[in-house]
Amino acid sequence: MDVKNSLKEVKQELSSDEKLLEQAFQLEKFFKKYKKGLIALAIVAVLAFVGYKANSYMQEQKLSSANSALIMLNKEPGNKDALATLKDNNPKLYALYSYSVAVNSADKKSLQNVPKESEFLKDMINYHMGVLSSEPKDSIYYKNLVLVEKAYLLIQKGKKEEAKKILTRIPKNSQVAAVARLLEHYTIK
């Protein structure tokens, strides 16, 4: 019995070794058949990884350069080189900086020349153009503030009833609700 069991175990081990050897031969055959394709795939994968890392590094360098230029512009607002660097490396940040400078100087011409990089910036420029021209324009982001400004201009023109109607359109939970209430009290006189 022991000899039979031992013989069965040896046969099983040999058959499992045989299967392993057979799979190794199949793998070698597969590799030989598709060797060029597998090497090309490995090269493409390595090149893609290197390209991705190089692109990430270049983007990081551009952002770093733009940030340095912005810091320089905050110290020296007239620095033309820093302005050009900011414009080349980060056009959106350049547009925001140009917008900030134009609003702080209350210069309509500069405000019109600000690159409109996003819908938000377009809306902000439109809003500030209205403020500078004393003709409040509708704004997505400053809707309630525009209503306050319209009411204020109407109060200055003596049209207090129209101003009250506009002020009632401002929700009570708005951030400018307190200002609207003050203007309403101002119209009582």
Tokens 């405000």 appear where?
Answer: 111
Instruction: Express each pLDDT in 163-189 by its tens digit.
Output: 888 888 888 888 888 888 888 887 765
Round to whole Å and give the CA distance between 158 and 164: 12
Let me know if residue 177 belongs to a domain: yes
Let me know if residue 31 belongs to a domain: no
Query: Residue 51: is its pLDDT beyond 90?
Result: yes
Question: Mean pLDDT across the stretch 110-127?
Answer: 84
Four-point Cα dihedral 154, 155, 157, 161, nearest 10: 70
pLDDT level of residue 61 (50, 70, 90 thresholds): very high
Query: What pTM was computed for the model?
Result: 0.66
Let me know if residue 182 belongs to a domain: yes
Sequence-ordered alpha helix ranges (H) in 34-142? 35-75, 80-89, 91-105, 108-112, 119-132
Residue 181 C-beta-side C-alpha neighbours within 13 Å: 8
Average pLDDT, the chain: 84
Let me know if residue 174 belongs to a domain: yes
What's the domain count of the chain?
1
Question: Mean pLDDT across the stretch 119-132?
Answer: 85
| Token pair recorded at residue 68 | 């340095």
Let me know if residue 78 belongs to a domain: no
Q: Which domain holds residue 146?
A: 142-189
